[in-house]
Amino acid sequence: MSNAFVRTETDEDGIAVVVIDRQDKLNALNADVIAALGDTFAALRGSSDVRGVILTGAGNKAFVAGADIAELAEMDPLSGIRVSRAGQQVFRAIEQMPRPVIAAVNGFALGGGLELALACHLRTASSRARFGLPEVKLGIIPGYGGTIRLPRLVGRARAIEMILTGDMIDAAEAHRIGLVNHVHEPDVLLDETRALMTRMLANGPIALALALESIDHAAATHPDAAAQLESDLFGLLAGTGDMREGMRAFLEKRPAQFTGR
């Protein structure tokens, strides 16, 4: 599964590696890349062979170094709204994937690139990675969900500082503030990210999907409503073969063999 800007390979373990490949522009997002990401993740969501997704950038310089400024410079108010909403829709679809999605940030993740990483469930980073939302330096604001997701992840005050200064932070600082989960040397980033994904995929696939649904729902819901959904999903899992297998395996002191049923 691939096109001019986004290519995908799925291994025998069901881990799909999605690579944004526009190296001459440091993998910058334009309308074509956004559309390709939307098509790619829609196909991955519909594939029974895919159990988890790792998203990264081609080359060793950038994950995604931002949006395509030449394209943004042509915006008027109405097209600006359309550009923002198109990106928001694709990034929200990534955030709502029922399988784990990890951004392996291999270089610059700036502007729309950081917003894309924020839409993934987890982030790992190369020690050379750099992060930032520099939009105010261009007279605009983040438009793909950055003002929403960054404060939820790192806290309001840190997010305000990053957004209003437009300053970059390095991988160590991103890890310290909780923006990324793990930092690795560049040559082992993908291997270590794959190992993290493998640990997740050893667990019940229905449980993973419903855990992600509950977490996503809770982010924008009153705690009482979030707790009610959590209970409902907990109850649904009690009717699955995976739950019975997981409980039996624990009692029998053996690894569980989940089937997704």
Residues catalogued as catalytic:
115, 135
AA identity, residue 207:
A
DSSP-derived secondary structure letter, 148: H
- Catalogue the E-assigned strands of 5-110: 6-10, 15-20, 52-57, 62-64, 101-105, 108-110
Q: CB neighbours (10 Å) of residue 88? A: 17
The CB-based long-range contact list for 162-168 (8 Å cut-off, 24+ gap) reads 162/132, 162/133, 163/133, 163/135, 163/136, 164/136, 165/136, 166/132, 166/133, 166/134, 166/135, 166/136, 166/137, 167/132, 167/134, 168/110, 168/130, 168/131, 168/132, 168/134
Question: Residue 105 — φ and ψ, nearest 5°?
Answer: -85, 105
Residue 31 near residue 83, CB atoms below 8 Å: yes
Q: Assign 54 to helix, strand or coil.
A: strand
Query: What value, to the nearest 5°, has the Cα angle with vertex 129 and ends 126 and 130?
Result: 160
Centre a 10 Å sphere on the Cβ of residue 120 and count the other Cβ atoms it contains: 21
What residues have CB less than 8 Å from 215, skipping those under 6 apart? none
Question: How many whole angstroms from its chain centre is CA 102?
Answer: 5
